[in-house]
C-alpha cells in the first residue's frame, strides 16, 4: 500500500513536471508570433515578398509561404532604431551606374531571325542578371536604409575599410547627433554578401512597391 502510494506520488510529480516543461517549451515568443502573423498577411496575396531574417542570417524570396530563393548573409550590422519585426514596401533602390531599361526604336528591334551562329555571350543590349549591381541601397519607410555590398578581399578590403571609416565613422556619427537633437531617429542596415550572385539576384528581384519583412534577433 505504502509502495503504491509512493509510486502514485512519483508518477503524479513526474506528470506535473512534464506538463510544466511542456508549457515552457511551447511558450511562444511574441516576436516570432508577430512575424508569423505578418508573413501570413503577405502570403495571402499572390504577390512575391522578401523576408530579411537577420536572426537566421538569410534573405528569402517567397510567395504563399513557399521559399522561391534564399541567400545566406555573411554579415548584418544595424545602426540606430530597430523594430523587432516589421513589414514595409520597398520605396526606392539606388545604385551607382544602375542598369536602365532600353527604349525600343521602331524598326530596329533585335534581329532574332538571324540564324547565323553567334557566341552565346555576345553583348546584347538587354537587362540581364549579369549586369545588375552588387552595391546598392534599398530605401524603406521610416527612414530605413539597407546598404547591400559584397565582402571585399585583399588590398581592396583595406581601401574599402578606410573609406567606410570616414563615411560610417564620422559622417554617420554627425548625422546621428543632428538627428538625435531633432528627435528624428533613423536606421542604417548594412548587409554583406560573400557571393556576387546573391546581391545581383536581390537587385533583380526586389522591385519598388514590393513588400518585405525585416526580422531582427531578440
Summarize as ranges the residues that interact with other proteins (CB under 8 A). 23, 26-33, 36-37, 39-40, 43-44, 46-48, 61, 63-66, 68-69, 78-84, 101-104, 106-110, 112-113, 115, 117-118, 120, 124, 126-129, 169-170, 172-174, 176-177, 179-180, 185, 200-201, 204-205, 207, 218
CB contact set of 152 (below 8 Å; sequence gap of 6+): 160
- Which CB sits closer to other proteins, 45 or 94? 45
Contact 78, 68 (CB under 8 A): no
- The per-residue DSSP string of 133-165 comes to -SSEEEEETTTEEEEEEEPP-THHHHHHHHHHI
Rank residues 55 and 110 by Cβ distance to other proteins and give the closer one: 110
Rounded to the nearest whole angstrom, what is the least distance from the CB of residue 117 to other proteins in the complex?
Answer: 7
What count of residues does the chain have?
A: 218
Choose between 3 and 162: whose C-beta lies nearer to other proteins.
Answer: 162
- CB-side neighbour CA atoms (13 Å) of 14: 6
| Grid coordinates of 94 | 539606388
Q: Least Å distance between CB 60 and other proteins? A: 11
Nearer to other proteins, 27 or 162 (CB): 27
Amino acid at each position: 500500500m505504502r509502495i503504491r502510494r509512493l509510486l502514485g506520488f512519483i508518477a503524479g510529480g513526474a506528470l506535473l513536471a512534464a506538463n510544466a516543461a511542456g508549457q515552457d517549451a511551447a511558450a511562444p515568443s511574441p516576436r516570432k508570433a508577430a512575424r508569423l502573423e505578418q508573413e501570413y498577411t503577405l502570403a495571402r496575396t499572390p504577390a512575391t515578398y522578401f523576408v530579411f531574417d537577420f536572426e537566421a542570417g538569410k534573405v528569402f524570396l517567397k510567395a504563399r509561404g513557399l521559399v522561391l530563393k534564399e541567400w545566406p548573409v555573411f554579415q548584418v550590422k544595424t545602426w540606430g532604431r530597430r523594430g523587432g519585426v516589421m513589414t514595409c514596401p520597398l520605396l526606392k533602390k539606388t545604385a551607382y551606374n544602375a542598369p536602365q531599361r532600353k527604349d525600343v526604336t521602331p524598326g530596329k528591334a533585335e534581329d532574332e531571325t538571324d540564324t547565323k551562329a553567334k557566341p552565346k555571350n555576345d553583348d546584347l543590349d538587354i537587362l540581364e542578371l549579369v549586369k545588375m549591381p552588387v552595391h546598392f541601397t534599398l530605401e524603406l519607410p521610416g527612414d530605413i536604409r539597407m546598404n547591400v555590398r559584397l565582402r571585399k578581399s585583399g588590398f581592396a578590403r583595406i581601401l574599402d575599410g578606410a573609406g567606410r571609416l570616414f563615411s560610417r565613422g564620422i559622417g554617420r556619427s554627425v548625422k546621428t547627433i543632428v538627428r538625435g537633437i531633432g528627435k528624428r531617429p533613423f536606421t542604417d542596415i548594412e548587409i554583406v554578401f560573400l557571393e556576387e550572385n546573391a546581391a545581383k539576384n536581390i537587385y533583380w528581384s526586389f522591385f519598388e512597391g514590393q513588400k518585405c519583412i525585416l526580422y531582427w534577433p531578440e
